[in-house]
Amino acid sequence: MNFIFPLVLVAAVYFLMLRPQQQRVARQRSLIADIDVGDEVVTAGGIIGVVRRLDDERIWLEIAPTVEITLLRGAIAQRVTPPASDSGDLDSDDLDDDIDRDLDDRDLDRPMGSEERDEGFSGL
């Protein structure tokens, strides 16, 4: 009976601490092995970029047009997944059109703040 408690304690430590850590390491190794040219990734330091070249140990990441940095494969924290496109979502052209329409509706000849005020409100 005295030996059951230590066995239960060791099993609890394994399942609560060691096993999840092993699973995280396995997922990270799988991620690093599956990275390919053209993937958008985030580094452990928070830098986002697109993989341009890779070899067994290093990855060349484009972080801005014509700006590449070289990283070790282990520095990759995650792959950025593009948001699922929904047919109801607005794209950037729709948003640009809305902004242009709002700007066209404004009377730009008057200075800001010179709009007529509602005399019925005696707020502030």
* Residue 39 domain-assigned (yes or no): yes
**pLDDT per residue of the chain (124 residues) written in tens, 0 to 9:** 678 888 888 888 887 888 888 888 888 888 888 899 999 999 999 999 999 999 999 999 999 999 999 999 989 998 987 655 555 555 556 556 655 555 555 555 666 555 555 565 555 5
* Residue 62 domain-assigned (yes or no): yes
Q: Which domain holds residue 33?
A: 4-83
Give the whole-angstrom CA distance, residue 64 versus residue 50: 9
Give the whole-angstrom CA distance, residue 71 versus residue 19: 29
* Residue 56 domain-assigned (yes or no): yes
Count of domains for the chain: 1
pTM of the shown model: 0.53
